[in-house]
């Protein structure tokens, strides 16, 4: 069995982007390790959510612990940088922020974890972090550098299928559900289908994915776009997770659709 390290920017990113893959690998007996760059302390906080004296970072730690339990994560650790906030905010380059961190130092910390775990696979983000958040872009930079330092044999970028957005909208429209609060700029998120190498069907783990999102209640409320979907729509929108295999380079052009024996074996296109 293999050790697979998933590198994410904030608590809840793992639930949205890779939860189904993580649950699948854990169920198959692999060692799933999650590294989170920051504690997400600059996230928005609903009124009345926090207990007196409780910080958002403390609440998000509890939420992430529960999400890890749901997904079968064997080890979770933080790099312990500060949340950098959204693009253009003064916090982007504040002392200790992840976006302003020295890439070499952060990569060395992540590479140390890869070495400790004898990781066979690292999953990081695509070059613009899916949607351009400064911490997500930095996850890409640090992840790529760490994989080089640790000589991790297999490297993937977690991404989204940009070309699938309109098709998903059509499928959702066919169900009769009217989405509200869809994230702005969704058409520009992720990467074009021509660049994606790996599409993972996670519908057998979709209930675990939904529960892992629900665990992050401070950031993903039940009436949010993410969780207000009926189960049928949730499976349509979140039932596949998308990756770009960087190392070793794919032998075939176009997406490879895998059963979730996944990020380990040589994929066979279907």
pLDDT in tens, 204-261: 999 999 999 999 999 999 888 889 888 888 888 899 999 999 999 877 655 554 444 4
Domain membership of residue 127 (yes or no) is yes
Domain membership of residue 233 (yes or no) is yes
Q: Output the domain CATH number for residue 20.
A: 3.40.50.10320
Domain membership of residue 219 (yes or no) is yes
What distance in Å separates the CA atoms of residue 230 and residue 215, rounded to the nearest whole number?
18
Q: Copy the structure tokens of residue 234.
A: 């949730």
User: What is the three-state SS of 91-117?
Assistant: HHHCCCECCCCCHHHHHHHHHHHHHHH
Tell me the C-alpha to C-alpha distance, in Å, between residue 186 and each of 35, 131, 143, 162: 26, 8, 24, 8
Domain membership of residue 267 (yes or no) is no
What distance in Å separates the CA atoms of residue 212 and residue 236, rounded to the nearest whole number?
17
Tell me the C-alpha to C-alpha distance, in Å, between residue 86 and each of 43, 103, 125, 185: 9, 19, 17, 15
What distance in Å separates the CA atoms of residue 123 and residue 34, rounded to the nearest whole number?
10
Q: Copy the structure tokens of residue 78.
A: 């933080």
For residue 169, the enclosing domain spans 3-258
How much is the pTM?
0.90
Judge whether residue 20 has pLDDT over 90.
yes
pLDDT in tens, 5-19: 999 999 999 999 999
Give every CB contact of residue 7 below 8 A, 6+ residues apart in sequence.
Answer: 35, 37, 110, 122, 123, 124, 125, 139, 142, 143, 146
Domain membership of residue 229 (yes or no) is yes
- If DSSP codes are grouped into helix, strand and coil, which group holds residue 152? coil
Polymer length of the chain: 270
| pLDDT at residue number 135 | 96
Judge whether residue 267 has pLDDT over 50.
no
Domain membership of residue 268 (yes or no) is no
What distance in Å separates the CA atoms of residue 12 and residue 212, rounded to the nearest whole number?
8
What distance in Å separates the CA atoms of residue 68 and residue 64, rounded to the nearest whole number?
6
Domain membership of residue 243 (yes or no) is yes
How many CB atoms lie under 10 A from the CB of residue 179?
A: 13
Question: What's the number of domains the chain is made of?
Answer: 1
Domain membership of residue 264 (yes or no) is no
pLDDT in tens, 139-188: 999 999 999 999 999 999 999 888 876 676 666 666 666 655 555 555 67
């Amino acid at each position: 069995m293999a050790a697979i390290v998933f590198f994410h920017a904030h608590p809840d990113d793992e639930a949205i982007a890779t939860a189904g893959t993580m649950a699948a690998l854990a169920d198959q007996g692999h060692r799933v390790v999650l590294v989170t760059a920051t504690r997400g302390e600059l996230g928005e906080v609903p009124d009345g959510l926090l207990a007196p004296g409780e910080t958002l970072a403390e609440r998000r730690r509890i939420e992430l612990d529960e999400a890890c339990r749901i997904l079968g994560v064997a080890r979770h650790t933080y790099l312990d940088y500060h949340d950098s906030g959204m693009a253009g905010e003064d916090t982007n380059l504040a002392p200790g922020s992840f976006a302003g961190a020295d890439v070499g130092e952060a990569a060395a910390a992540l590479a140390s974890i890869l070495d400790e775990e004898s990781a066979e696979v690292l999953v990081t983000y695509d070059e613009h972090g899916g949607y351009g958040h400064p911490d997500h872009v930095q996850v890409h930079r640090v992840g790529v550098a760490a994989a080089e330092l640790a000589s991790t044999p297999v490297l993937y970028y977690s991404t989204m299928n940009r070309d699938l957005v309109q098709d998903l909208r059509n499928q959702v429209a066919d169900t009769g559900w009217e989405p509200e609060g869809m994230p702005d700029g969704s058409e520009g998120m992720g990467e074009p289908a021509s660049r994606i190498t790996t599409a993972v069907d996670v519908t057998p783990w979709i209930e675990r994915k939904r529960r892992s999102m629900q665990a992050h209640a401070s950031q993903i409320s039940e009436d949010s776009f993410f969780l207000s979907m009926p189960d049928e729509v949730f499976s349509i929108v979140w039932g596949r997770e998308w990756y770009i295999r960087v190392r070793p380079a794919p032998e075939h052009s176009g997406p490879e659709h895998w059963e979730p024996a996944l990020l380990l074996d040589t994929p066979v296109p279907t």
